[in-house]
Amino acid sequence: MLLEEFNFKTEVLDSSEPVLVDFWAEWCGPCRTMTPTLAALAREFKVCKVNVDKNPKLAARYNISSIPALYIFKGGQVVAQHLGVTSEQVLRSDLRRHR
């Protein structure tokens, strides 16, 4: 699910389940590398994407200075974060831990 400023609170911060948020950009090669991993995780978990070029306020709010930045939110808070290409196993483990 692609997120914008207007739906970030509802879809991520107000969610009762953990949400993996991928801060990415179209021009980012490592971001494209993450696509199959995120698609696999989305079959079991809530996964959302925030394009940092189109949503600079969200990127600034979470101090995104390098992408891909993969943040797991639970209860409106960041409970885990990974920078750069990250394995499905690592992300799945974090998501399960925060269920």
What domains can be seen in the chain, in order of their start residue?
2-97 (3.40.30.10)
Give the active site residue among 12, 21, 31, 38. Answer: 31
Give the active site residue among 25, 28, 79, 83. Answer: 28
Check if 31 is active-site.
yes
pLDDT band, residue 18 (cuts 50/70/90): very high
For the whole model, what pTM was predicted?
Answer: 0.95
Which CA distances in Å does 64 have to 10, 43, 55, 76, 83? 21, 26, 11, 17, 9
pLDDT digits (tens, 9 = 90+) for 54-63: 999 999 999 9
CA distance 43 to 15: 17
pLDDT digits (tens, 9 = 90+) for 46-84: 999 999 999 999 999 999 999 999 999 999 999 999 999
Check if 48 is active-site.
no
pLDDT band, residue 37 (cuts 50/70/90): very high
